[in-house]
Structure 1
């Protein structure tokens, strides 16, 4: 169990670190867009080479595709609720939408990580670096947007600390329930993460990056994809 706690904290910590980095300095819009584009590319690689590929290997397409549908619908509904609430206050829901995406990605992903640890599967350095590459830009972008919308600095830190804590706890939960679940559950969890991420990328992260970095977005996205794909394959 101690190992699950350790790796849960390691995997979730980039979410909080990114929020703190957004507080330390004000990122110029173009640089923020490049960071978001890089993170979007890294998340695309995570979907393709980790979540989807591993889900198919574990249990085939049915539980994986079912999970994708659940994750996509869950993110869509949550994002529309956020849009409605922010519209009443006259702000943007971009930063909050990225936080919801991180939560819907992080919880099932780290649940699977905990199950893998309990099953005796090792954790590679490349995998840890790949998680950092995808999570850090996401939280930097979200926290920066939330600050621009007027959210207090303390609330931004608490929000991302809460997201990171829930994701870390998911690793411990996965470790604890390993004997009670089969490969179909793990495949479905991968699908939930992939579905939520795909909708978040199209709805929020890529448009946000494009609005800030403009013509640099595509190149940053490809670089993020290349780095994360290389790390995933190395893992």
Structure 2
């Protein structure tokens, strides 16, 4: 099977966790403290993956300057896009309570939330595809980290969408579409970046890492702290160490 299709398959697998989480969040009444705890765990997993699978790998490939430049660029691009979408109703797209506006409260918020979900998912999937470059296998730790973090993202966001009065069709079409977009982004990560110089690949990897770090800080940790509060730090460290353990096994 062509490697680009393999990349797409891994991206689809990781993105499918959003649908799994959305099913649980929309169809079941899960206590907020449970959602917050799972979100804190997912935050720790992503922080570990960014540290040991993305930034460290980028530094090894291209050195400090491309890595730092890429990470800052990723954080800036994500933050500016997030600010623009927040003004159009997507600020609380990962919140499970009553924070999300309905379409009647803010026209166009549904589209903004959809674009925000796409913004959150694309960098992770590009990294999954890029991890296949160089002839090695996919980074299982990266796929696992994205999958684990996607479950609470879909769960929390779909719960908030239900509370905002959004239909099942909207919710599951959105997350199904994001899962497909994750596959396409992983294919692009492999196909577009193949043959790129080490410094360029390092900068792109670090760019995705910076965007993911900004996303965790802006959208995931606030939701985790909203209900877990004093337990957030401990649960986040548990997620971090779990992903670090998986990374050490792969090494």
TM-score greater than 0.5 by the shorter chain: yes
1:145 matches 2:148: no
**Alpha-carbon distance between aligned partners in 2 of 1:165 and 1:139, rounded to the nearest angstrom:** 14
TM-score, structure 2 as length reference: 0.80
Displacement of 1:216 in angstroms is 2.1
**Alpha-carbon distance between aligned partners in 2 of 1:92 and 1:130, rounded to the nearest angstrom:** 23
Unaligned runs of 5+ in 2: 101-111
CA deviations on 1:24-61 (whole Å, 9 max, x unpaired) are 31211111110111111111111111111111111112
**Alpha-carbon distance between aligned partners in 1 of 2:139 and 2:74, rounded to the nearest angstrom:** 27
Pick one of 44, 60, 83 that aligns with 2:47: 44
RMSD: 2.7
1:229 matches 2:232: no
**Alpha-carbon distance between aligned partners in 2 of 1:112 and 1:216, rounded to the nearest angstrom:** 30
TM-score, structure 1 as length reference: 0.85
**Alpha-carbon distance between aligned partners in 2 of 1:6 and 1:52, rounded to the nearest angstrom:** 24
CA deviations on 1:170-228 (whole Å, 9 max, x unpaired) are 22223323544222232122222222222222222112111122222222111111111
Number of aligned residues? 232
**Alpha-carbon distance between aligned partners in 2 of 1:40 and 1:190, rounded to the nearest angstrom:** 19
Q: Which residue of 1 is the match for residue 196 of structure 2? A: 181
**Alpha-carbon distance between aligned partners in 1 of 2:209 and 2:139, rounded to the nearest angstrom:** 21
Displacement of 1:67 in angstroms is 1.7
* Maintained 8 Å contact 1:107/1:167: yes
1:71 matches 2:86: no
Q: Which residue of 2 is the match for residue 134 of structure 1? A: 149
Q: Which residue of 2 is the match for residue 161 of structure 1? A: 176
- List structure 1 segments (4+ residues) > 6 angstroms apart after TM superposition: 96-102
Unaligned runs of 5+ in 1: none
